[in-house]
Amino acid sequence: MSLNNSDVCILIPTLNEGATIGNVIKDFKAEGFSEILVIDGHSVDKTREIAEAEGVRVVLQSGKGKGQALIQAFELIESPYIVLVDGDGTELARDAHTLLAPLFEGRAEHVVGNRLVRFEKGAFTKLNLLGNHLINRLFDLAYGVQQKDILSGYRAFTRESIRELELNKLGFEIETEISVECILKNQRVLEFPISYLPRSEKGVTKLNPLKDGFRIGVTIYRLAKMHNPIFYFGIIGSLFILAGIISGSFVVWQWFQGITRIPMTVLTSLLLIFGLQMFIFGMLSDLIVALHKQTIRLIQAQYKSK
Ligand SMILES: Nc1nc2c(ncn2[C@@H]2O[C@H](COP(=O)(O)OP(=O)(O)OP(=O)(O)O)[C@@H](O)[C@H]2O)c(=O)[nH]1
Ligand SMILES: [Mg+2]
């Protein structure tokens, strides 16, 4: 393997990770990585001081949220390979080699560390584990791509490939957006199991499982419009058709009792027609998306052959 760690930048977003950031940096140095960038979200503990004392580059993010921090950091990095890792000490530096190997060998543009295979007891709360499974299932359904851990924060990718992605999400939806954009841009994504440890008792999670989980679910659904419009419009259509079937059943049942419900009948027809129309929208959009993908593939092929 032609590992060349000097071409790698380790990117660590931090928000009040004073308890762990020092060791995280030390561990990566011990693994042979010297280029390390900490992008800090205005920590009120000693995170920045500790990182600076370790002699790494520390940048204060200009806005708020993990997503904003990453988008800003991707612009600053000049190294051709990037490893993204949390600053909370839940992931191990030595796993970086596993994630980087396929990039160095040219087998992938983006490699995700799958936390859901080898995690230690206590690394996920029951709610977090359930949320992760639900979100991964929703992702499979919407994108038809078998990815096991789309929310993982431990990833390796090439600078070129990350700059190709159009990223706008400012909060914890950023990993979802990255995973979706990789699919839209036809990047080769691989996943490998990594270790995942419980958070240190002194570090506090910034992730709210219910609020952020809901936002992530909405993000998957909204972004599916561009990839799988039948899924996107189909869900809206199904809801209207379901409502139409319920009101229609009522109308029929009343009709057998000798009562004719005219306004309800009109409502039923409207609900069913609108629902069916959503499916037709979905099919038309699917056609547009398919044509668009074909065009993108042609452009990419031309670009690569040059
Ligand atoms: N710069 C920056 N970093 C952030 C922000 N929010 C979270 N982070 C960092 O992003 C990494 C992941 O955040 P965590 O709170 O650990 O979220 P998580 O790993 O998804 O969830 P846990 O299972 O609770 O650890 C950590 O290193 C945080 O310090 C932010 O607003 N700005
Ligand atoms: Mg974490």
Structure tokens at 223: 């972004």
Best substitution site from 86, 116, 178 to test ligand 1's pocket, by max atoms within 8 Å of Cβ? 86
Q: What is the pLDDT of residue 156?
A: 98
Separation of CA 273 and ligand 2 centre (Å): 47
Separation of CA 291 and ligand 2 centre (Å): 40
Phi, psi (degrees; rounded to nearest 5) at 165? -80, 145
Q: What is the pLDDT of residue 3?
A: 57
Identify the residue whose tokens are 């998957």.
220
Separation of CA 16 and ligand 1 centre (Å): 9
Instruction: Enumerate the β-bridge partners of residue 158.
Output: 81
Q: What is the pLDDT of residue 255?
A: 96
Q: What percent of the chain has pLDDT over 90?
A: 87
Question: Using CA of residue 247, residue 250, residue 255, residue 261, what is the dihedral sign?
Answer: negative
Q: Kindly give, in sequence order, each residue whose CB lies less than 8 Å from that of residue 271, ignoring residues fewer than 6 positions away.
A: 240, 241, 243, 244, 247
Q: What is the pLDDT of residues 116-150, one digit of tens each?
A: 999 999 999 999 999 999 999 999 999 988 889 99
Is the model's pLDDT at 304 over the cut of 80?
A: no
* Residues 250 and 261: beta-carbon distance below 8 Å: yes
Mean pLDDT of 102-109: 96
Q: Which atom of ligand 1 is nearest to the CA of 86?
A: 27
Residues having CB within 6 Å of any atom of ligand 1? 13-15, 17, 39-41, 61, 64-66, 69, 86-88, 90, 128, 153, 199, 205-207
* C-alpha separations of 22 from 38, 47, 83, 115 in Å: 11, 8, 17, 22
Separation of CA 88 and ligand 2 centre (Å): 6
